[in-house]
Amino acid sequence: MRSDRAPLGLKIAAGAGLAFMHLPIVLIFVYAFTTEDKSYQWPPPGLTTKWLAVTWNRPDVWEALSLSLRVAAISTAIALVLGTLCAAAVSRTKFFGREAISLMVILPIALPGIITGISLRSAFNLADIPFSFWTIVLGHATFCVVVVYNNAVARFRRTSGSLIEASMDLGADGFQTFRHVILPNISTALLAGGMLAFALSFDEVIVTTFTAGQQQTLPIWMLEELVRPRERPVTNVVAMMVALVTLLPILGAYYLTRGTDTVAGQGK
Amino acid sequence: MSEHVLETERSGGLRGISDVLWRNPRLVIFLLLAPPALWLGIVYLGSLFALLAQSFFSIDEFSGLIQYELTLKTYRELFTPANFDVILRTVVMSACVTIAAAIIAFPIAYFAARYAKGKWKALFYIGVMLPLWSSYLVKVYSWKLILAKEGILNWLFETLHLSWLLNAYLSIPVIGGNSLSVSATGTFLVFLYVWLPFMVLPIQASLERVPASMLEASGDLGASPQQTFRHVLLPLALPGVIAGSIFTFSLTLGDYIIPQIVGTSRRFIGQAVYAYQGTAGNIPLASAFAVVPIVIMAFYLWVAKRKGAFDAL
Amino acid sequence: MKTAAVRFKGVSRHYGPVRAVDEVDLSIAEGEFFAMLGPSGSGKTTCLRLIAGFDQPTAGEVTIFGEDAGGVPPYKRHVNTVFQDYALFPHMNVLDNVAYGLMIAGMPKAERHKQAEGALELVALPGFGARKPSELSGGQRQRVALARALINEPRVLLLDEPLGALDLKLREQMQQELKDLQRKLGITFIFVTHDQGEALSMADRVAVFNDGKIVQVGKPEDVYYRPEVPFVADFVGSSNVLPPHVVEKIAGNWTHASVRPEAVSLVDAGLGVDGLHATVHSTAFLGTATRVSLDLDGFSMVALLPKGTRIPETGEQVHVKWSPEDLHLMDTA
């Protein structure tokens, strides 16, 4: 007989593991309010909210944030279209080369980000393409496709094929069926996939360093601060904000796919 | 109701297009696939090809210009002692991170899959999902705070009067250093932290698939809980561990930011790629370096596939 | 002569090397309650899909009320389907599900909802419109699927194992209701099932499918009492199909014959069919009767003994007997 109570040792190991995964992020929230501005002193000598105001008035932070948001929005839109099309084709019919298509979609995240980065960099170099907003988007959309694809493919698989036949049987042509049956059934999966793609793009730094040139997305701004700390308090506040901004879409996506699809995180 | 049971006349507009598509299912597949296939084919595969091409070019040592002639000269450079050292260091680090992640992840996944019920299960799920998806840089940054000389970890050791222990550890060559934030141990800790969630989820998925009745059958046949774990659960969880290791191994192989922020001045593959393509402008050598993780991962995936790890993804 | 509602002329549907439907000829009259009966994979569902337009024949021609259906998409056929899994749209409530066909046809909301209410009344579900399909029982979903398929006033209604997911009692009740509904509406019902009892009790005519071919078409009594091939005898009547060496002994020139279990009785030595003795293999009490499995010269057959007869012991030697008119002789193998 298997007892339903976990052994104490297992409970401790699991709890400690979870704590290890979460405590460091909690720390970020404490540091955002420290009065110390020259070092990473612990415990903080005092707490203040003045760095929030200081960060608020920094144009470079705003510019980086704006670039990141624009890149994430456009990349997500492209990924939504491409990922959905691909999922529809792969899940609806068996065709020659299906496996190859799935592999091609997954490759950009299966291989280390630096490979995607240096590959794009090489291609831009060979083709003489100057860095721009669009070179960043090109990279981001490519690795965001898979997140949308994974969510959409799982939902397509769960959506019974007879629903589409039922709709056509009742007089709806292909477009009407898409609008009245397919779209409503996959919309939450697409929303979840889109949110995760947004979070992924908003946070991306490895590929971006190869495709951004002199432009600064928020993660690149943070990276420079990490390598050469200039204003620790502002970095602390930005880190906290980035943590919060990525938190919302993750929880949203979890809520939308709860109890339906499998582990959404496999997409990353 | 119309006279005819079949509408055989041709329709215009969208319905007409729908008719054509309905009669040509292959056309539908083609239209669905064309945009993503073109995008990924041109942007991604095209770039990969560019990378491969660049790695067969070389750089003129005097002018610093890229010579667009196919040569194996750049690959030969990879095997100079300094560069080979970089590759070896990265692979060893990836292996260490993978093994440690598997050990820490297993109890979490096991608990979540076997014992957590209802609300706790959801909590565990979010508990793994959040760190998985939360910002990479924020996670790295938090460790810069933790490992700093004036940071929380040193403070803990001091408060507990254990500083001597930490100093003794740091004096060990190779893994030690001046402080944790500039030691190989520091790099290892951050890698472990950042990639750990990628190990938990596949293991959990593979454990969820073991039916409870199978464990009961093992107990019924006289196995002790330890024997059941050893002979039933562990072999069934192995594909999940391998699937997770693909992530942890691959991600560590290609990372260049963590060792740059926390660790020694000794380079990893990612840093080499970044440095050569950047200030040095040596894209051929950077590309050749980037091919190394591809080759290692291809080998790794080949082994993993033979062990059936892909079913756990 | 009236045009057939549905006619198959040499229709085949092959998937690669698999012949799901193989040169089927069939004619279904208007207003008929027609059953397609056969084991799974025998091609009956594929035939239904060819009529609905979800699938296209590889060869041959399907005509619906005299018109060639080739290349006509499902949404251009006034033929509607009740799906095996009901295929109710999960994101719509019951009323919108039922009114779907009318919405697509462009009918204003108030009017189509009124008609949908009417259709729900027809299937005895008045007032269920606001519920979601997930809040209904299996039987209720089945009725909603029926109302949704009927609202477009199809000339032919296709039902794919419509009662398969229901429990026994509900199934019997629905069989009666479907039959009454078909009489009332007077439209053609084509109905796919693997349950011979269902096909025999509901249909005007039955087509028995095996391996992509129709092996017999006829009235339920014909198919049941006068099977033309051993497969029908076995599948439809659960008859004992006697092997050639036994048939030769008792009926000379014929090769195949069948006898239904309820026609077999066990008698004392000397009173039975010449030279046929059997060993009792096992017995099973079924309530109104007892099923006796027999071993007859290395071939097994079944006798169904009514209540009140003596039940032999396992291993006992017995003699079998049936009246000559219960022995059904068949030509083909």
C228 and C254 in a common domain: no
Q: Is A49 inside any structural domain?
A: no
Taking the C-alpha atoms of residue A102 and residue C63, their distance in angstroms, rounded to an integer, is: 41
C321 and C192 in a common domain: no
State yes or no: pLDDT of A259 exceeds 60: no
Q: Give the minimum alpha-carbon distance from C224 to chain B in angstroms, rounded to a whole number.
A: 34
pLDDT band for position C105 (cuts 50, 70, 90): very high
- Closest by Cα among B191, B135, B43, B282 to A205: B135
Taking the C-alpha atoms of residue C159 and residue C81, their distance in angstroms, rounded to an integer, is: 6
- Please report, as a single letter, which amino acid is at residue C109: K
pLDDT band for position C209 (cuts 50, 70, 90): very high
Count the domains in chain A. 1
pLDDT band for position B168 (cuts 50, 70, 90): confident
**For chain C, what is the largest distance between any 2 Cα atoms, rounded to a whole number of angstroms?**
79
Average pLDDT over residues A95-121: 81
**Is there a contact between A195 and C84 (Cβ–Cβ < 8 Å)?**
no
C300 and C170 in a common domain: no
Average pLDDT over residues B140-169: 88
C51, closest residue in chain A (CA to CA): A169
User: Could you say which of C234, C253, C284 is where a domain stops?
Assistant: C234
Average pLDDT over residues B95-120: 89
Interface of B with A in 283-302 (CB under 8 A): 283, 286-287, 290, 293-294, 297
Q: Is C180 inside any structural domain?
A: yes
**Is there a contact between C263 and C323 (Cβ–Cβ < 8 Å)?**
yes
Domain of A100, CATH number, reads 1.10.3720.10
Taking the C-alpha atoms of residue B47 and residue B38, their distance in angstroms, rounded to an integer, is: 13
C100 and C19 in a common domain: yes
pLDDT at res. B264:
86
C146 and C262 in a common domain: no
Structure-block tokens of residue A219: 């993660």
pTM: 0.81
* Start-end of H helices in chain A: 8-31, 50-56, 59-92, 98-110, 113-127, 133-158, 161-169, 174-177, 183-203, 206-211, 218-227, 232-257
Contacts of C156 in chain B (CB under 8 A): 5
Q: Is C281 inside any structural domain?
A: yes
C156 and C280 in a common domain: no
The boundaries of the domain holding residue C298 are 239-330
DSSP per residue, C205-230:
EEEEEETTEEEEEE-HHHHHHS-SSH
Taking the C-alpha atoms of residue B137 and residue A239, their distance in angstroms, rounded to an integer, is: 8
Q: Is A176 inside any structural domain?
A: yes
**Is there a contact between B192 and B131 (Cβ–Cβ < 8 Å)?**
no
Count the domains in chain C. 2
C261 and C317 in a common domain: yes
Q: Is A262 inside any structural domain?
A: yes
Measure the CA angle with vertex C311, ends C308 and C314; round to 5°.
170
Average pLDDT over residues B208-216: 80
pLDDT band for position C309 (cuts 50, 70, 90): confident
The boundaries of the domain holding residue A259 are 59-267
C257 and C229 in a common domain: no
Out of A138-152, C7-21, C262-276, pick the least confident.
C262-276
Contacts of C79 in chain B (CB under 8 A): 5
User: Could you say which of C184, C213, C234 is where a domain stops?
Assistant: C234
C247 and C297 in a common domain: yes
- For chain C, give the mean pLDDT: 88
Buried b (16+ CB within 10 A) or exposed e, C284-305: eeeeebbebbbebeeeebbbbb
pLDDT at res. C332:
59
- Closest by Cα among A81, A62, A2 to A241: A62
State yes or no: pLDDT of C203 exceeds 90: yes
Residue C243: asked if its preceding bond is cis (omega within 30°), the reply is no
Three-state SS for B38?
Answer: helix
C226 and C270 in a common domain: no
- Closest by Cα among C22, C21, C133, C25 to C83: C133
Contacts of C65 in chain B (CB under 8 A): 4-6
Asked if B41 lies within 8 A of A104 by C-beta distance, the reply is yes
Structure-block tokens of residue A86: 């691909």
Beta bridge partners of C292: C283, C303
Contacts of B19 in chain C (CB under 8 A): 73, 76
Digit-coded pLDDT (tens) for C51-66 = 999 999 999 999 999 9
Taking the C-alpha atoms of residue C118 and residue C111, their distance in angstroms, rounded to an integer, is: 11
Only one residue has tokens 């996944």, namely: B109
pLDDT at res. C269:
65
Q: Is A164 inside any structural domain?
A: yes
Mutation to test the A interface, candidates C81, C86, C158, most A Cβ within 10 Å: C81
Q: Is A111 inside any structural domain?
A: yes
DSSP per residue, A215-258:
---HHHHHHHHHHS-S-HHHHHHHHHHHHHHHHHHHHHHHHHHT
Three-state SS for A72?
Answer: helix
Percent of chain A residues topping a pLDDT of 70 = 94
How far from each other are the two terminal CA atoms of chain C, in whole angstroms? 35
